[in-house]
Structure 1
Amino acid sequence: MTPAHAGHTAGGFPPVALVPLGMFWLYLAAALRQRDAGRPGWNHRRTASFGLGAALLAAGLAWPAGDLPGHMWQHLLLGMLAPLAMVLGAPGTLALRTLDRRAGRAAVRLVRHPVARVAAHPVTGLLLTAGGLYLLYLTPLYRATLTSLALHGLVHLHFVLAGYLFAWSIAGPDPGPHRPRVPVRLLVLGVAVAAHAAIAQLLYADLLVDVPAAGDELRDAATVMYYGGDLAEILLALALLVSWRPERAAKPAPVRA
């Protein structure tokens, strides 16, 4: 067991794992406000989805990552499964319904800013998620996280935020800057699948990676990344396709004689 991971495991339930539960409490309070007279109400399935995401996030933060496969399960929860479930809860839409008009307009202006348009593009999310994996495992960064709890926490924060951004840019129901069409988003998702598969194969073969672990640990961790990542990306693709409404070409007006 590595020093940083050993400290995490020995400390029992980490207080940071309570943060997602607090987030869900705030979400639930806002959702219940939508039941007041004169308000449109809120979809229970979205509440359940966000609650599931918060639970998965808490589980990932509390996961005792004592070895490389455990570390990989933790990243799967934090960077893929929890963000997807939370995104499908549409917290942005709920927040806009809860905020007063002035704050809501300010939020909309912020989302429409050119920088936000670039940040919200699926390619940006792809670079942050897949690029983060390559940076972590193909450089000395992973070794550094083993002896630094602060760096370990920053890496986790990166995966949560990058995973949320990527899931939202692909299939998020919340409003935002103009997204590319669905075929483009599916193409980006396909590249993400290939990128995850490639890094998993490098780990499995212990090729080019800088990870201090035995061969069996590397292979087990690579298996978790490969199949767990496939599952998360299939769920993301299904979320996109379920919400897809293909554009219909306008019918030409009949020609009158």
Structure 2
Amino acid sequence: MDHGVHNGSMGGSAALVVLLVVLPSVLLIIYLVVAGRELRRSTWSGWRTASFAVGTLLIIAAISPPLSDWAHRDLSGHMVQHLLLGMFGPLALVLGAPGTLLLRNIPVTIARRIVAFLATRPIRFLIHPITAALLDIGGMYVLYLTPLYVLSMTDPLVYVLLHLHFVISGYLFTWSIAGPDPAPHRAGMPMRLTVVFLATAAHANLGKLMYGYGYPRGTMADLSELQAAAQWMYYGGDLAELLLIIAFFAMWFRRRNILPVAFADRRQGLY
């Protein structure tokens, strides 16, 4: 059903096109150029290149007119958009290891400064799995169980910030759990595994709350539409989190092979 004039959606569309279509497209071109050079040297994975490209295309698809129009008319469309921007897109981007590619293709002095910045207390707090989960999953609770969702439909700035939050918090959470890129003082594997299972349970519980109690409220959508959107969140979220858990265990099982390389890089001062 049409929920009326979505002033926030209409007013923020141009900004979103720049932020989530033009900018990702430029970054993808840069990534492909650099990765192509590494591939010719046989020092980069074509699989990672494909993953980053897929992640970028998923984010662009989420902002494309067909899906945006559906999201404006129907909460299920919004939920599909949310899943692409906040879960599937970031997962593919993270597995593309853009940080590793960056560090391998910039001067060592700049790479050391970046890693040193990641080691500062505020950044270490921000990239901790618990913090990332609160920003990502906790942000969904705030969005769908409070009037914030309705506000985003009328306020262009809130609308744009909401979609940026989906991408950034989704990327941060995914990276904190299964990101292949290096960073100092990362949480241990048991901590990450605990957080991802708790986050999965919290996400599923939010879907149940939305289904059972008709959230988000104030949208003029009927109960069947709200329940359909909740099902998209529940089952789509389960699939995305299953893929994240698979990526986590794949990284864990490969850890013995990666550690010698990591220690070699640490001796060079990159960690």
- Does the TM-score normalized on the shorter chain lie above 0.5? yes
Calculate percent identity across the aligned residue pairs: 45
Q: For residue 254 of structure 1, what is the aligned residue in structure 2?
A: none
C-alpha spacing 1:27/1:211, structure 2 compared with 1 (3 Å): farther
Structure 1 position 4 matched with structure 2 position 7: yes
Contact 2:136 2:170 in 1 (8 A): yes
Measured at CA, do residues 60 and 33 of structure 1 come closer, stay the same or move farther in structure 2, by a change above 3 Å?
same
Distance change in 2, residues 1:9/1:214 (3 Å): farther
State TM-score, norm by structure 2: 0.83
| Pair 231,92 (structure 1): closer, same or farther in 2 beyond 3 Å | same
The amino acid of 1:90's aligned partner reads A
SS in 1 for 2:185: coil
Instruction: Tell me which residue corresponds to 1:251.
Output: none
Stretches of structure 1 that go unaligned for 5 or more consecutive residues are: 249-257
* 2:55/2:93 contact within 8 Å kept: yes
Match of 2:82 in 1: 75
1:188 matched residue in structure 2: 195
| Corresponding position of 2:35 | 31
Q: Tell me how far apart the structure 2 counterparts of residues 107 and 9 of structure 1 sit (CA, whole Å).
A: 32
Count the aligned residue pairs: 245
Q: Distance in 1 between matches of 2:255 and 2:48?
A: 25
Question: RCO higher in 1 or 2 (8 Å CA, sep ≥ 6)?
Answer: 2
Paired position in structure 1 for 2:169: 162
For structure 2, the 5+ residue unaligned runs are: 257-271
Partner residue in 1 for 2:236: 228
TM-score scaled by structure 1? Answer: 0.88
Runs of 4+ more than 6 Å apart = 8-11
Counterpart amino acid of 2:203?
H
1:109 pairs with 2:116: yes
**Is the contact made by 1:54 and 1:86 (CA closer than 8 Å) also made in structure 2?**
yes
State the Cα distance separating 1:118 from its structure 2 match. 1.1
RMSD of aligned C-alpha atoms?
2.3
The answer for the alignment partner of 2:48 in structure 1 is 46
1:201 aligns with 2:203: no
Q: Is the 8 A contact 1:8 1:14 kept in 2?
A: no
Distance of 1:6 and 1:121 partners within structure 2: 32
When residues 221 and 211 of structure 1 are mapped into structure 2, their CA distance, relative to the original with a 3 A threshold, is: farther
Q: Deviations over 1:211-250 (max 9, x none)?
A: 42210110000000000000000000000001113889xx
The residue identity in structure 1 corresponding to 2:103 is L
CA distance in 2, matches of 1:211, 1:51: 37
Q: Give the Cα–Cα distance (whole angstroms) in 1 for the partners of residues 13 and 85 of structure 2.
A: 21
What amino acid sits opposite 1:24 in the alignment?
A: L
Mapped partners of 2:10, 2:216: distance in 1: 25
Does the aligned pair in 1 maintain the 2:83–2:236 contact within 8 Å?
yes
Q: Residues 135-163 of structure 1, C-alpha deviation per residue, up to 9 Å, x if partnerless? A: 11111111111112221110010111000
Q: How far is 1:210 from its partner?
A: 3.0
| Structure-1 separation of matches of 2:39 and 2:153 | 47
Question: What corresponds to 1:144 in structure 2?
Answer: 151
Q: Is the radius of gyration larger for structure 1 or structure 2?
A: 1
